[in-house]
Amino acid sequence: MQTHDTAPLVESHGYQVNGVTYLPHYRNDAFFVGPGYPRYTSDVYTANDMVLAGGKKVSIMLWTRGTTGVVNNLNP
């Protein structure tokens, strides 16, 4: 039986730093997270952090993200 994902995708942006893609956080799209978040790393970055690290902005289709959610150790 074949299933189809019906969640809408929207054009979003992330950053690539040294070949690693960082995506916007689900709760607040002003923050970016890398692979392994939050299980293996709790690091969260801003767009400015990404640019300062040499990141290149990339377009990607993702599920919608929150815009005002709190992102901290209690709400990874």
Please give the model's pTM, rounded to 2 decimal places. Answer: 0.84
Question: Side-chain half-sphere of 57: how many Cα atoms within 13 Å?
Answer: 7
Structural domain boundaries of the chain? 9-63
pLDDT tens for 24-36 read 999 999 999 999 9
CA–CA distance, 25 with 12 (Å, rounded to integer): 11
pLDDT tens for 43-54 read 999 999 999 999
Task: Return mean pLDDT, the chain.
Answer: 90
pLDDT of 73 reads: 76
